[in-house]
Structure 1
Amino acid sequence: MFEAFSISFLIVTLAEMGDKSQLVCMALAARLPPRQVLIGAILAFAGLNALAVAVGGTLASWLPTIWVLTAAAVLFAIFGLQALWQGWQEWQQGQDQPAEDTSDVSHVSRKRVIGSTFSLIAVAELGDKTQLSVAALSTKFDILSVWLGATLGLAMTSALGVLIGCALLRRLQLRWLHLASGVLFLVMALAMAIQLIA
C-alpha cells in the first residue's frame, strides 16, 4: 500500500507542477479568498480521482491483465514523451512558456468561490493526463492507496499554487519540472513493459 501511495503521490505531484490546474489556483487565489479556492480545488481533485480509480478498477476486472498493462505502459510513454518535448522546447527557448490562459474570474462572487473553483478545476482536469495516469495506476495498485496518494499530491500542488500566487510564476523554472515528470512517466512505462515481458 505504501508503494502505491508513494508512486501515485510522486507522479501526480511532479506532473501537476506548473500545469493548468495549478495556474488556475494561482489566478483564482490572486483575486479571491485563498482558503475557499483551496477547498474547491481539493474537492474537485478528490472527485476526479475517485472517478479515475473507479474506472481503472473496473477495467482491471473486465480486461485481461496483459491488455491493461500494455495500455498503461503506452499511456505513460506518451505522457512522458509529451512532457519531455515540452521541457525540451522550453530549454531551447531559454525561458519558460508563458502562463496558460486562465480566463477572467473577477466576476465570481465570494460566496461561490468553492463552487466556481470546483467547476473550473473539474472541467480543466477531466480526461487530463493526471486523471488517466491515476486510472492506469489503479489497475496495478490498491485503488484506495492510489486515490489517497494522487489526491494528496494534487492538494499539495494546489496549496503551492495558492501560496505562490501569479506574481511568482514568471520566476519558476517549469522546464525542469516538465523534464523530471517526463522521465518519471517513461520509467513507469518501462517498468510496466518489463512486467509484460517477464
Structure 2
Amino acid sequence: MEAFLISTGIVALAEMGDKTQLLALVLAARFRKPWPIVLGIFVATIANHAMAGALGAWVTTLISPQILRWILGASFLAMAVWMLIPDKLDDEEGSSAPRFGVFGTTVLAFFLAEMGDKTQIATVMLAARYEAYYAVVAGTTLGMMLANAPVVWLGERVTRLVPLRVVHIVSALVFAVLGVLALLIKA
C-alpha cells in the first residue's frame, strides 16, 4: 500500500504544470469532448507507465541493492532540481479535425509526451525502489489522472486554483527528502 500511495502522491504533484497537463488543457479547449480525452489519457498513461514500471523492475535484477540505492538517491535529488524547471508545451496542433479522432489523438499525444518525462522517470525509480510493479503502476496512473482529468473537465480554472510555483517547490522538496532517505537508509 505504501508503494501505491507514495507513487500516487509523487506523480500527482510532479504532474502539476507539466507539459502533459498543458496538453490536456489544449486538447480540452480544442475538442471540447472530455470523455474521449480523459479515456485517452488513461490508456496512454497505463501503457507508458507499465513499460516504465517494467524497466524499473528489470533494473533491480541487474544492479546490486547498494548501487541501486545510490542511483535512486541521486535520481530523486536530480528530480527535485528538475521539478523547479517549469515545462512549456512545445507544439500545438494546427488542424481542427483530428486524424485519429479525439481518443486516438489523445492517446498518441499523451504517450509521446510522457516519453522521458518526469513522471515516466519517477515511475521507473519507484518501481525499482519498491519492487512492487502493480502498486507503482496503479499509483502513478492514478496520480496522472488526479492531475490531468480535472484539467480536462474544469479547464483553465483548475490551473488558477493552485500557484504552480508552490506546487513545483513542494514537489521538489518531496523528491529531495526521498533522495536523502534513499541515500541514508539501508533497505
Do the structures match in fold with TM over 0.5? yes
The answer to whether the aligner puts 1:154 opposite 2:144 as a matched pair is yes
Residue aligning to 2:66: 66
Give the conservation status (yes or no) of the 8 Å contact 2:38–2:152. yes
The answer to whether the aligner puts 1:30 opposite 2:19 as a matched pair is no
CA distance in 2, matches of 1:164, 1:192: 37
Residue aligning to 1:108: 97
CA distance in 1, matches of 2:134, 2:118: 19
Tell me, which stretches of 5 or more residues in structure 1 are unaligned?
88-96
Q: CA deviation at 1:129?
A: 1.5
CA distance in 1, matches of 2:79, 2:98: 36
Residue aligning to 1:140: 129
The answer to whether the aligner puts 1:178 opposite 2:168 as a matched pair is yes
Q: CA deviation at 1:108?
A: 3.4
Give the conservation status (yes or no) of the 8 Å contact 1:26–1:164. no
**Identical counterparts, % of pairs:** 32
The alpha-carbon distance between structure 1 residues 111 and 53, as it changes in their structure 2 partners (threshold 3 A), is closer
Residue aligning to 2:41: 41
The alpha-carbon distance between structure 1 residues 68 and 16, as it changes in their structure 2 partners (threshold 3 A), is same
Aligned length: 185
Give the conservation status (yes or no) of the 8 Å contact 2:28–2:34. yes
Give the conservation status (yes or no) of the 8 Å contact 1:40–1:114. yes
- Opposite residue 163 of structure 1, the aligned amino acid is W
User: Normalising by the residue count of structure 1, what TM-score does the alignment of the two structures yield?
Assistant: 0.85
Tell me, which stretches of 5 or more residues in structure 2 are unaligned?
none
The alpha-carbon distance between structure 1 residues 105 and 67, as it changes in their structure 2 partners (threshold 3 A), is farther
More moved, 165-174 vs 19-28: 165-174
- Opposite residue 140 of structure 1, the aligned amino acid is R
Residue aligning to 2:154: 164
Residue aligning to 2:9: 10
